[in-house]
Structure 1
Amino acid sequence: MVDLPGHSLSGVIASFLFILLTMKQSDDFRVIGPAYPILARVGEDALLTCQLFPKRTAMHMKVKWYRTEPDMPAIAHWDGVEMTEMQVEEYRDRIEWIDDSIADGNVTLKIHNIQPSDNGQYWCQFQEGNYHKETSLLLKVANMGSAPKIHMEGPREGEVQLVCTAKGWFPEPQVYWEDITGERLLTVSEHHIQDEEGLFYVEDTLVIRNVSVETVSCFIHNPVLTEGKGAVIALPEKFQTELAFLKVIGPSQPILVRVGEDIQLTCYLFPKANAQSMEVRWVQAHHYPAVYVYTNGDHVAGEQMVDYRGRTALVSDAIHEGRLTLQIRNARASDDGQYQCLFEKDGVYQKASLDLKVVAVGSSPRITMEMLTDGEIQLMCTSNGWFPQPQMQWRDIEGKAIPSISEILHSDSHGLFHVETSLLITNSSMANVTCSISNLPLGEEKKAAFILSESRMAFSWTILPVLGLLFAMVIGLIRRKNW
């Protein structure tokens, strides 16, 4: 054993104490949060809490809550001051910083009026100097929507179609059908969409081909809340309702409308019946969102698709006879397609299909010419504003079709087509051509002719050889001079 001089031992101890005192104490803490997900219902408030371990003050630290990017926090505090300039816009006026226990390293984020978009992972970060630690918390947002409604389409021969609908669920719920014995029934189609608020609308269809089935139930289950709602329909009772004996009649031919014109979609009950107490809706593929909904004498704006807001009006002068017309102003290319008109009462509906064809004839074609390096000529024919996709064709002076070398189509922000087609002219027999663009549903076309004179053609095909000869002569003169 070696004896150290007294002054040496005291020096080592002093150095060790100095190191301990000057060492940063930033690397001896962790951040902890709840061990389980935090559950909050839509519209309620949620508390997200995290704390330092072991306990120590965080009053001088930088603390932030964020979702995906630390540089885009929901809220951040530094030395007890809120850093609002860093805050993500969607959380402004909806969050509250609670730091009653910040002296013990405990902070809480309160989110008011929980929305579906708040669902997911959050991070709580403490920073002291250049050192930081963080932990994650899982916020599960849930909402019980409306009770399901079962709609029955007027009975057809040999089968009955049932549609179960509900709104306002989160997260996406589970939907299933059962017969009176509790046996699961196979769904034909499922349509689940999120509305503007992020809540789910569900529409599940069931077809019953067993006429002996009398009672069917639809259940909707929230997987987070482990709660559900159900509805039951008694089929024999529905077979006796008014609409079970009526039909809905729509146009027998497609409705043809030009872009910018007004659309009229008319349907009526047969035999005639008063529809004032019925719900009438015009839809595309599904019941919701709708193009237009009429019920209890008024328009249901909350169920209307965004694209049709402010563009629709109902003509109901003959509603007592069961005839209604929906007007859609200023037809757009996006309006093209099939619609359905549904009359519903007492949970039974009848429907008719309407085929709307939106058309537009574009600008007159414009032909431009480009000289190619090998002496050939390329023609380009362009036009704008067509719908649906038009047919393009080049023809010679005798009207015979000439194949193009390329065709390009793309739609603009209004859904209208811009078209380009190219033709390669290789000899004088193709000097006079026509470019035609046709709208097939309307049977209309626009043409442009291109005429290239023989002298111009001769000039076109001799210009390159002549230039080549001149170039060769210049090179020869230069070489001779150098010699």
Structure 2
Amino acid sequence: QFKIIPPNNPVVGVIGKGVILPCQLEAKTISERLSVQWIFAGKSLNIDVTSYDGKNILNPVREDKTYQGRTDFFQTEISNGNVSLHLKNVMISDKGKYICSVSLENWYDEVMVELDVAVFLDGHVGQGIGLNCKSQGWFPQPEVIWLDSKGQTRKEKVVTQSLQTSSGLFDVVSSMTLEPGSDMEVSCRIISDLLNTACESRVLISGEILDIHQRHEWQELRWIVL
């Protein structure tokens, strides 16, 4: 009579934002007296993130102190089978597997929901003939690509370094040297495969190569959804 519809793919949450961990119960009629429990399946310890007890009319929701103030059920939609979890202010430590378990009288079922986390922050600097592309606060480690005016990968030698900070995020610095006679339009694109998103900054350099310090012009930073 009852069935939980499992998610097809891992869920991706952006650090500092909210994310929904899906858990949908399928049945002809659903009693609000059901019980729902969300559990974080840690490597060494399971945490009872939050639970909903439909039999407790006055105070149906309980929340672990580790997640205090960061979880919500969609209580008005539980009768429609929506027992998904709204997790707020996503942190790196939230990454992992979560169990959504549902019980009603003599029936019980559970599904596993995997949460990946990612973040990106912008900040790019162009410096004369030697161009630097810098960005801080990424997770996981992003990829950096330099492009020409036609959107093709540039042939110049590129040096990219990534440093993982104490907070677990990655700072990246990528550098290249623009030679005389080269395509004067340069784009630095930083890609997060997990978010399926890229951040791009473009510089158009005009005039004599020796005057490059005074004549470079940065265009507005823009986000690109791949």
TM-score category (smaller protein):
0.5 to 0.7
- From the CA coordinates, give the structure whose radius of gyration is larger: 1
167, 170, 176: which one aligns with 1:200: 170
Which has the higher relative contact order, 1 or 2, with Cα contacts under 8 A spaced 6 or more apart? 2
Name the residue aligned to 1:217: 187
Task: Evaluate the alpha carbon distance shift between residue 178 and residue 105 of structure 1 in structure 2; reply closer, same or farther with a 3 A threshold.
Answer: closer
Cα deviation for residue 74 of structure 1 reads 1.7
Task: Evaluate the alpha carbon distance shift between residue 30 and residue 161 of structure 1 in structure 2; reply closer, same or farther with a 3 A threshold.
Answer: same
Cα deviation for residue 116 of structure 1 reads 4.4
Q: 2:127·2:213 contact (CA, 8 Å) conserved in 1?
A: no
The answer for unaligned runs of 5 or more in structure 1 is 1-27, 153-159, 242-345, 348-483
Q: 1:58·1:104 contact (CA, 8 Å) conserved in 2?
A: no
Name the residue aligned to 1:50: 23
Cα deviation for residue 177 of structure 1 reads 1.6
Letter in 1 for 2:24: Q
Cα deviation for residue 31 of structure 1 reads 1.6
SS of the aligned residue for 2:158 comes to: coil
Alignment TM-score, normalising by the size of structure 1: 0.36
Higher helix fraction: Structure 1 or Structure 2? 1
Name the residue aligned to 2:49: 74
Q: 2:74·2:82 contact (CA, 8 Å) conserved in 1?
A: no
Taking the aligned partners of 1:105 and 1:192, their CA distance within structure 2 comes to 44
Task: Evaluate the alpha carbon distance shift between residue 236 and residue 135 of structure 1 in structure 2; reply closer, same or farther with a 3 A threshold.
Answer: farther
87, 90, 101: which one aligns with 1:111: 87
- Give matches, 1:31-430, under 5 Å: 31-57=4-30, 59-69=32-42, 71-78=46-53, 79-80=55-56, 81-84=60-63, 87=64, 89=66, 91-128=67-104, 132-151=108-127, 161-180=130-149, 182-185=152-155, 186-194=157-165, 196=167, 198-207=168-177, 210-213=179-182, 215=184, 216-223=186-193, 224-232=195-203, 234=205, 236-238=210-212
Identity %: 26
Letter in 1 for 2:134: T
Taking the aligned partners of 2:88 and 2:33, their CA distance within structure 1 comes to 27
SS of the aligned residue for 1:217 comes to: strand
Letter in 2 for 1:44: K
Task: Evaluate the alpha carbon distance shift between residue 236 and residue 56 of structure 1 in structure 2; reply closer, same or farther with a 3 A threshold.
Answer: farther
Task: Evaluate the alpha carbon distance shift between residue 233 and residue 165 of structure 1 in structure 2; reply closer, same or farther with a 3 A threshold.
Answer: farther
- Equivalenced residue count is 204
Task: Evaluate the alpha carbon distance shift between residue 227 and residue 36 of structure 1 in structure 2; reply closer, same or farther with a 3 A threshold.
Answer: same
Q: What's the RMSD between the two structures over aligned residues?
A: 3.6
Cα deviation for residue 39 of structure 1 reads 4.9
Alignment TM-score, normalising by the size of structure 2: 0.68
Taking the aligned partners of 1:103 and 1:217, their CA distance within structure 2 comes to 51
Q: 1:148·1:229 contact (CA, 8 Å) conserved in 2?
A: no
Cα deviation for residue 58 of structure 1 reads 5.3
After the TM superposition, which segments of 4 or more aligned residues of structure 1 sit over 6 Å from their partners?
none
Task: Evaluate the alpha carbon distance shift between residue 240 and residue 60 of structure 1 in structure 2; reply closer, same or farther with a 3 A threshold.
Answer: closer
Task: Evaluate the alpha carbon distance shift between residue 180 and residue 32 of structure 1 in structure 2; reply closer, same or farther with a 3 A threshold.
Answer: closer
Taking the aligned partners of 2:77 and 2:187, their CA distance within structure 1 comes to 52
1:190-237, CA deviations, whole angstroms, 9 ceiling, x for partnerless residues? 2243563x54321123355x4443634322123224333123263643
Task: Evaluate the alpha carbon distance shift between residue 148 and residue 231 of structure 1 in structure 2; reply closer, same or farther with a 3 A threshold.
Answer: farther
